[in-house]
Amino acid sequence: MSGCPVTNGFGNHDGSAPTPLSESVTGGGMLYGKYLQLEKIVSAQRLLSDEAGRLVHDEHLFIVTHQAYELWFKQIIFELDSIRALFNNEDLAETQTLELLKRLNRIVLILKLLVDQVMILETMTPLDFMDFRSFLSPASGFQSLQFRLIENKLGIKPGNRVKYNKSYSSVFGDDPEALASLIRSESEPTLAELVEKWLARTPGLEKEGFDFWGKFQQVVDDMLQEQKEKADAYKESTAKTFALNNYAKRKAIYDSIFDLSVHDALIKRGERRFSHKALQGSIMITFYRDEPRFSQPHQLLMLLMDIDSLITKWRYNHVMMVQRMIGSQNMGTGGSSGYQYLRATLGDQYKVFLDLFNLSTFLIPRDKIPPLTPAMKTKLRGRRGVEEETENGN
């Protein structure tokens, strides 16, 4: 049998096995090309060089590659909207967490594909690009509405963006629908905001319960006191000074999470994003990731970092490609500073989940992690764990 096994029959409405293509067509189904609307997709490559009477071969590659990007952007937005809808539920069930992991992983895999797609464009030489670059102005990748929507839905704040003219949305000034969708995406709950609220609900943070934060702070205080005593015990002045400096630096690091005023100051400076409670939740999940209840949340945090990392890698690959194609001084076709502007977008201000990347700063040895109490273990197992204990006579 030839053709794609998935699309050789699209299945029947009653859930029975797909019928052969010929039967599906006679029964009111669609042919492959009609179902995918290929007549629109494969005819959507308008080569301006050809219209000008001097066809440039590589313009076709340039168009198809960017159209492929936009199709994948659309899929990412589709997944992001569904993920945000799931997160926007305070009673997030364990079965829904599995669905979140699946959809986040799908976004990660798509982004890996997009990172590698840059290499295909790089088969085009700078001279090849110059042959048709003049036809592109004033078009620019900066005008990708879908990429801006992805950034907004993830949670990049307008104030963290590198300035471009009056604002990042100024290039859409002649498109009321595009502007409306951007404004809407800025007002809707972002993935970062929803994750922040979810982390703040982490079981075990309550002071009247397990009080993870209080236990963690006590462990850190004991560790720092031990470090200071060892530093004070040095008799040689240089070694003692070095050890005391290390102690002071380590104490300042932990003060930044235990002192709420310091934490809030870091948020104002843009060096931290999560609320204090959300930061506590992310640290607790990281420490107890081997517990069944925290295994999936920990995987989720890893995938969020993967998304941030891959978008940064995509930006970096794009920057390198632009420098290779037009150098460091030429302006972009849309009027930006080209390479200089793109390079400025590689900073931490574009990382949505910056706090997750910095969690390793606050790790402590495994044997120092506060052990879970029997009550907390029962709470983490939930109703199923209680029922199992009851059946076993415990």
The CA distance from 297 to 303, in Å, is 10
- Other Cβ atoms within 10 Å of 70 Cβ, number: 12
Query: What integer best gives the mean pLDDT of the chain?
Result: 86
Phi and psi torsions of 274, nearest 5°:
-70, 150
CA distance 17 to 358: 50
Is the pLDDT reported for residue 21 higher than 70? no
Nearest CA to 274 out of 192, 189, 156, 206 is that of 192
Residues in the chain: 394
The per-residue pLDDT for range 339-349, each reduced to its tens digit, is 777 888 888 88
Taking the CA of residue 315 as centre, how many other CA atoms within 13 Å lie in the half-sphere pointing to its CB? 20
Q: What global pTM score does this model have?
A: 0.86
Q: Which two tokens stand for residue 319?
A: 């920057």
For residue 324, what pLDDT is reported? 86
Could you give the CA distance from residue 58 to residue 64 in angstroms, rounded to a whole number?
A: 10
Mean pLDDT in residue range 308-317:
94
Annotate 253-306 with DSSP letters as a single string: HHHHHH-HHHHHHHHHTTS--S-HHHHHHHHHHHHTTTSHHHHHHHHHHHHHHH
- The residues, ordered by sequence, that sit 6+ positions from 207 with a Cβ below 8 Å of its Cβ are 213, 214
| pLDDT(265) > 80 | yes
Q: Are 49 and 60 in contact (CB under 8 A)?
A: no
**Tokens linked to 105:** 């992983």
How far is it, in rounded angstroms, from Cα 387 to Cα 14? 38
Identify the weakest region by mean pLDDT among 12-16, 140-144, 312-316, 360-364: 12-16
Q: Give the tens place of pLDDT for each residue, 149-193.
A: 999 999 998 888 877 656 667 777 788 899 999 999 999 999 999
Q: At 225, is the pLDDT very low, low, confident or very high (cuts 50, 70, 90)?
A: very high
